[in-house]
Amino acid sequence: MFAVEAKNLKKTFKSKDGDVEAVKDVSFHVNQGEIFSILGPNGAGKSTTILMLTTLLRVTSGNGSILGLDVEKEDKKVREKIGIALQDTGIDNLLTGKELFFTTARLWGYSKEDAETRTTELLELVGLEEAADRRVKTYSGGMKRRLDLGLSLVHKPEVLFLDEPTTGLDPGSRRVLWDEIKRLREDGVTIILTTQYLEEADELADRISIIDNGLVAAEGTPDELKALIGGDVITFILNNDDEAKKAKELILNSENERNQLRVTVENGAEKIPDLLSELSKNKLEVLSVSANKPSLDDVFLEVTGYRLEGAAEEEELSEGMSDNE
C-alpha cells in the first residue's frame, strides 16, 4: 500500500473567461517513509495538487488516496492521518508559541496533561524552547515556519504535506528546516514536499516529480533524472546575450540563457577545444568555460524547455550558505 497515490488528478476552475485547467493530468505514488518532492514553477499546479490530496479542494476528476483512504469519500479519516503546512497559514500572532501548541493539542482531543507534554515535546523538536513564552508576532520568518511545522505534527500524522516550506527564508533558516524534515523522515513520517528550489529537491527528496503546466513532465530519483540527459554539460560564458544567441546558431543541440551557452555532449573535456575553435572562428569571445555532470537545473531545462525561476534566487542563497560556512 502506498502512503499517497494520485491517479489522473484534474482540477478545473470556472471563470468569467471560461474553464481554467489548473491541474490537467497528474499521477504519482509515494512510498511509506520517503520524502517525495513535487518540483515546478509558480502556477504549475503543485499547490492545487496538494490541496486536492489533503481534502481542502474537491477533485474535478481522477482519484487520490492516503494510506488506502479515498480523499473524496473518506475525507474525515484522511485528515486524521495527515499533517499540513501550507504557504499561507493563519497563525494567531497574539498567542505565544506554547499557547498555540497547547490549544492545538486540546483541539485534537488531548487531555490537559497530555497537551502539556506534547507541547513540551514539539517546542523541543522544532527548537523553540527559548521562545516558547514570546508572542508569535515577535518571531522571525524562520521561527514561524518551524512553528507551523510543529503545529502540523501535533496529532502525530503518518503523512506530512509541506507546501514550499522554505520560500523566502534566509540560508541558515533553510538549513535548519531541512534538518528537521530529514529527522522526521528518520522517525518514519512520509513527507510530500513542493518546492521551486532545485537544490532543496536534490538535498531532501528520495524521488522527484517535475510538474509543468498541470502535467507531470518527468519523475524519478535525483540520479535517475540526471541520467536522462547523460554525458557532460559544457557551459560557455560569453561577453553578452547577443553573442550567446549567435553561438547557439553555430552549435547544434545547445541552449542559451542570457550570456551563457550550454551544450550536452559525451566526453565534455575532449570536445571543448573543437567547440572553442568554432566560436573563435566566428569572432565570439569566450570569457570562461566549464564541463560538469548534469544537474537538476539541466534536467528541468531539458524536459520543460526553460529554467526554473527559483534557480536564480537559489544561486544567491547558495552563495550565502557558502559564505556562512
Domains and CATH numbers, the chain: 4-94+135-226 (3.40.50.300), 227-324 (3.30.70)
Q: Parallel, antiparallel, or unpaired for β 35-39 and 207-212? A: parallel
Kindly state the cell numbers that stand for 203: 538535498
User: In the chain, at which residue ranges do the beta strands (DSSP E only) sit?
Assistant: 4-15, 18-30, 35-39, 61-66, 69-70, 82-85, 159-163, 190-195, 207-212, 215-220, 232-238, 254-257, 260-265, 286-292
Backbone angles phi, psi at 239, to 5 degrees: -65, -40
Task: Confirm if 291 and 268 have CB atoms less than 8 A apart.
Answer: yes
Query: Coil, helix or strand for 224?
Result: helix
Q: What is the DSSP letter of 71?
A: T
Whole-angstrom distance, CA of residue 53 vs CA of residue 161? 9
**Block means of pLDDT (10 residues each) for the chain, length 325 residues?**
96 89 96 95 91 96 97 96 81 90 95 96 91 93 88 93 86 86 93 91 95 94 88 90 92 87 86 92 92 87 78 50 45
Which amino acid, residue 33?
G
pLDDT value of position 89: 61
- Residue from 21, 67, 76 nearest 213 by CA: 21
User: Of 208, 190, 206, whose CA–CA distance to 81 is shortest?
Assistant: 190
The 3-state secondary structure of 244-258, one letter per residue: HHHHHHHCCCEEEEC
pLDDT of the residue at 277: 92
Q: What residues contact residue 43 under an 8 Å CB cut-off, 6+ apart?
A: none
Query: Of 34, 28, 57, whose CA–CA distance to 216 is shortest?
Result: 28
- Interacting residues of 177 by C-beta distance below 8 A, sequence separation 6+: 142, 145, 146, 149, 165, 166, 169
DSSP state letters, 107-172: HTT--HHHHHHHHHHHHHHTT-STTTTSBGGGS-HHHHHHHHHHHTTTT--SEEEEESTTTT--HH
In this predicted structure, what is the pLDDT of residue 321? Answer: 45
CA angle 133, 134, 140 (to 5 degrees): 135
